[in-house]
Amino acid sequence: MNLPSYATLAITRDGEHTLVVTLNRPEVSNAINTQMGRDLEDLWRRLTAEPGTTRCVVLTGAGDRAFCAGGDLKERNGMTDEVWRAQHEIFERGIFGLMECPVPVIAAVNGHAFAGGCETALACDFIYAVRGARFAQTEVQLGIMPGAAGTQNLARAVGERRAKEIILTARPFTAEEAYEWGLVNRLCEPGRALPEALETARTIAENAPLSVQQAKKSIHYGLQMDLLTGYRFEIEAYNRLVDTADRREGVRAFNEKRKPEFKGK
């Protein structure tokens, strides 16, 4: 995939196989406006349709204050109901695109992640966060509720009862609490979320990309099924890998005691 240019996102490469996506509105704590919604929707669509050499994505925020403050409430102030719903439809398509992107996406939470920002991090495959960052689902304080899969992904990450407490109180919680509850995978020192996420992304990118994509899909969708149906889904995903050049290369490299050269074929 050729690197696209966006008004609200900064896109760079870390080596051949890792893409770094930065929410790039630091003057408003990287809040999501309509344009950023369109940019994110387009990015995830491109990565799904034509990932090219991209095997892993790291999503972070510009600056060290915030990952993302959520929806841009200044832009939303005075919106008609019709315009609000139309904007939210853009946000919905972006979240769907992120959740269903076949390429793994790691959130490097470099600062606060509130409301839609928290939901965006939750829609990624897993989260690294700096100590001192805060998370919150503040929507009920505004007369709305989480609408970017927050009620679904948060409950799956921390359990139903904890998710109800977080969402219904709208109280912020720390990165340390998020780690304790299972929402965050790793706590990082300030300034280290992106480097450590990139290190993990490189490790993922060294593995067979089709295998990574099929395993990600099996975990994500299998959890929506009962155990035996999920296992059947897993076997279907597994069998799609048998007749691949990467499977043959992986076994051959193991027996030849060398590093495999995966092509995603």
Q: What is the CATH number of the domain that holds 67?
A: 3.90.226.10
Angstrom distance (rounded) from CA 200 to CA 195: 9
User: Is the Cβ–Cβ distance between 19 and 54 less than 8 Å?
Assistant: yes
Q: Are residues 221 and 125 in the same domain?
A: no
Angstrom distance (rounded) from CA 218 to CA 248: 21
Assess if residue 35 is contained within a domain.
yes
Assess if residue 36 is contained within a domain.
yes
For residue 90, give the H/E element and its range: helix 81-99
List the catalytic residue out of 41, 139, 196, 234.
Answer: 139
Q: Are residues 236 and 135 in the same domain?
A: no
Q: What is the mean pLDDT of residues 10-19?
A: 96
The tokens describing 236, both together, are 């279907």
Assess if residue 264 is contained within a domain.
no
Assess if residue 1 is contained within a domain.
no
Q: Which residue, 115, 111, 119, 123, is CA-closest to 174?
A: 111
pLDDT given for residue 196 in this prediction: 98
Percent of the chain at pLDDT exceeding 90: 98
158-192 pLDDT tens trace:
999 999 999 999 999 999 999 999 999 999 999 99
Residue partners of 197: CB distance under 8 A and separation at least 6: 58, 60, 106, 107, 108, 128
Assess if residue 265 is contained within a domain.
no
Given the structure tokens 């979240």, which residue do they identify?
Answer: 95
Assess if residue 260 is contained within a domain.
no
Angstrom distance (rounded) from CA 262 to CA 151: 38
Q: Are residues 148 and 44 in the same domain?
A: yes
Is 139 one of the annotated active-site residues of the chain?
yes
The tokens describing 211, both together, are 């295998």
Q: Identity (one letter) of the amino acid at 162? A: R
Q: Are residues 197 and 230 in the same domain?
A: no
The tokens describing 220, both together, are 């994500």
Residue partners of 218: CB distance under 8 A and separation at least 6: 230, 233, 234, 237, 238
Assess if residue 83 is contained within a domain.
yes
Q: Identity (one letter) of the amino acid at 231? A: Y
Q: What is the CATH number of the domain that holds 235?
A: 1.10.12.10
Assess if residue 159 is contained within a domain.
yes
Task: Please count the structural domains in the chain.
Answer: 2
Is 119 one of the annotated active-site residues of the chain?
yes
Q: Are residues 109 and 184 in the same domain?
A: yes
Q: Are residues 116 and 23 in the same domain?
A: yes
pLDDT given for residue 116 in this prediction: 98
The tokens describing 75, both together, are 């832009």
Q: Are residues 129 and 53 in the same domain?
A: yes
69-85 pLDDT tens trace:
999 999 999 999 999 99
Q: Are residues 33 and 162 in the same domain?
A: yes
In which domain, by residue range, is 101 found? 9-205
Q: Are residues 140 and 154 in the same domain?
A: yes
Residue 1 has pLDDT above 80, yes or no: no
List the catalytic residue out of 119, 234, 249, 261.
Answer: 119
pLDDT given for residue 4 in this prediction: 86
User: Is the Cβ–Cβ distance between 214 and 241 less than 8 Å?
Assistant: yes
Q: Are residues 167 and 228 in the same domain?
A: no
Residue 3 has pLDDT above 90, yes or no: no
Q: What is the mean pLDDT of residues 94-114?
A: 97
Q: Are residues 32 and 65 in the same domain?
A: yes
Reported as a pLDDT band with limits 50, 70 and 90, residue 2 is confident
Q: Are residues 148 and 198 in the same domain?
A: yes
Q: What is the mean pLDDT of residues 134-163?
A: 97
